[in-house]
Structure 1
Amino acid sequence: MTAFYLPLGNDTFRSTEHTVGPWGPDSQHLGPPSALLVRALLALGRPTLSRVTFEVLGPVPIADLTVSTSVDRPGRSVELLSASLSFEGRAVLTARAWHIVGSDTTAVAGGTGGALAPPSSAVPMEIPEFWGGGYLAAVEWLSVSGGIFTPGDAQVWARPRVAVVEGSVATPLERLFAVVDSASGVSSRVDIRKWFAINTDLTVHLHRQPVGEWVGMDARTTIGPDGSGLASSTVHDVEGPVGSSAQALFVRER
């Protein structure tokens, strides 16, 4: 299979082995379901998104999942959209997104900061043997500095090797959301064999829409003394920064 999901009709999608995450064989990495909900939001006819917030309501199972969408606040300039992913009638992941109608602001554009070193200058990221399949193998990973299981800040590039939905070509936005949840993983400060460091949410703000296949993350994780953490990143495409991401972390020793 060459996709994270197989379409079954009636807004239902079958999860494939490419969605399997690091916490167990029966639950997904958050990247693929995030991309699936963004795909559904784009299908509402809004081609750009300026902010998307996901709330993780429980583990996303490797199963048949149903997507629903709505326009919560229609408007001529800005609109609030929502999407939900459900398993057997229960929501496991929700998304709310702002769509801002585009206009030409080239004359005042600026303040984006420096570009990440390009993918051509990066090297393949080392993948640990104990987690070498599932989602991790479905994405191509390159390291500028740091990476998964190298504790601390990281600068990495990633691009999915498979489609989001079989028979459909992923947009740059879908590709971005298929990997941006990994900011907390590539910049992790703990060994996931000994610690849980699971995000309860994901918020991505975009100041421009991404282009191309590659998604870059200049990522960092901070862990406090009371079981909470924060993972954040500046998100890039090959032309430079496109926005930022943030994730609240639940941190516990196994």
Structure 2
Amino acid sequence: MIDCMFRRHGADGEDEVFESTDGTRSNWDPEIQHGSPPLALLTRAIENLAAGSGLRIARLTLDILGPIPVATVRVRARVERPGSRISLMSAEMLTDRPDGSQRSVARVTAWLLAPSDTADAATDRYPPLVEGDPAAVAHAWEGAPGYLEAVSWRRQATPEDAAVAGSGGSAAVAGSGGSAAVVWLSPLVPLVDSEPTTPLQLLAMVVDSANGIGAALDPQQFVFMNTDTVVHLHRLPTGQDFALRARGSIGPDGIGVTTAEIFDRRGFIGTCAQTLLVQRRE
């Protein structure tokens, strides 16, 4: 039974040590981690480092530096560019090689800015999304163990679904039609053991799923894994339910991009983008 994504195993010098659970396993390969759990754990490290600074995270960039094993990982965070109004912080995830040395597998950098009162000038690009009944098929990885068991995934029906159903076909499972796909997601377990998980960490636990939500290709025929996830937030998230409205674009040379708008129950909060390596399955 999956009860959290990571278990804390104390500290080793400047590093926090965690054991990765089955809840981190990727739908592409169960031996490696889905991108969202590492993004969330490194976001946690940056939030802890920034505590008391008076700054808030406005942008998160996850770079996946290699396969992230479902194993013991180390996390360390540091200030790259100090400042009272603008600061750059980073967090790194490392794993052990067979020879005992360490390799860096993921890095998150974050711009933190000083808040001020702009309530009278606030604007939202899009109206709030209201969750409807979920579509019959949540995604194209039905039955995949691991991360997808630890997240509630409610895909919203699209006009393409209705058209396909009317023709007697199977419901669409991704954003490969004319409309962007919308999925509401909620983590079902804490990020670390039973400790409280902040709203920003909860969002990070699901936002890397934009690639799967906006899939423009059939995952039975293609692999399209993202190398990064970049999140811009004009407002901090609230609650634990988030919607991603995502769409993928595939180039002619094996490289793609997924972009998404991010919503919480109150409305639009930001955007994310991902770079994709696209390969045809053998």
- The TM-score normalised by the length of structure 2 is 0.85
Look up the equivalent residue of 1:123 and give its one-letter code: P
Displacement, 1:191?
A: 2.0
Match of 1:123? 134
Match of 1:39? 44
Match of 2:22? 17
| Structure showing the higher strand proportion among its residues | 1
**CA contact 2:64–2:107 (8 Å) conserved in 1:** yes
Q: Does the alignment pair 1:61 with 2:69?
A: yes
Whole-Å separation in 2 of the counterparts to 1:93 and 1:168 = 23
Match of 2:109? 96
Q: Sequence identity of aligned pairs in percent?
A: 36
> Alignment partner for residue 176 of structure 1, among 188, 203, 223?
203
**CA contact 1:148–1:187 (8 Å) conserved in 2:** no
How many residues were matched structurally? 252
1:69–1:133 distance in 2 versus 1, CA, 3 Å: same
Q: Does the alignment pair 1:78 with 2:79?
A: no
Q: Which SS does the other structure have where 1:61 is aligned?
A: coil
Match of 1:143? 155
Displacement, 1:229?
A: 0.5
Look up the equivalent residue of 1:15 and give its one-letter code: S
Q: Does the alignment pair 1:243 with 2:275?
A: no
Match of 2:250? 223
Match of 1:8? 9
Match of 1:134? 146
Match of 2:161? none
1:127–1:218 distance in 2 versus 1, CA, 3 Å: closer
Give CA deviations for 1:14-40 in whole Å, capped at 9, x if unaligned: 000111112212101001111000011
Look up the equivalent residue of 1:233 and give its one-letter code: A
Q: Which SS does the other structure have where 1:229 is aligned?
A: strand
Q: Which SS does the other structure have where 2:56 is aligned?
A: coil
1:103–1:129 distance in 2 versus 1, CA, 3 Å: closer
Give the gaps of 5 or more residues in structure 2. 97-101, 159-170
Match of 2:168? none
- The TM-score normalised by the length of structure 1 is 0.94
1:148–1:203 distance in 2 versus 1, CA, 3 Å: farther
Give the gaps of 5 or more residues in structure 1. none
Q: Which moved more, 1:130-139 or 1:212-221?
A: 130-139
Q: Which SS does the other structure have where 2:70 is aligned?
A: coil
Whole-Å separation in 2 of the counterparts to 1:240 and 1:129 = 28
**CA contact 1:145–1:156 (8 Å) conserved in 2:** no
Whole-Å separation in 1 of the counterparts to 2:111 and 2:175 = 34
Q: Which moved more, 1:103-112 or 1:197-206?
A: 103-112
Aligned residues: CA RMSD = 1.7
**CA contact 1:141–1:158 (8 Å) conserved in 2:** yes
**CA contact 2:174–2:212 (8 Å) conserved in 1:** no
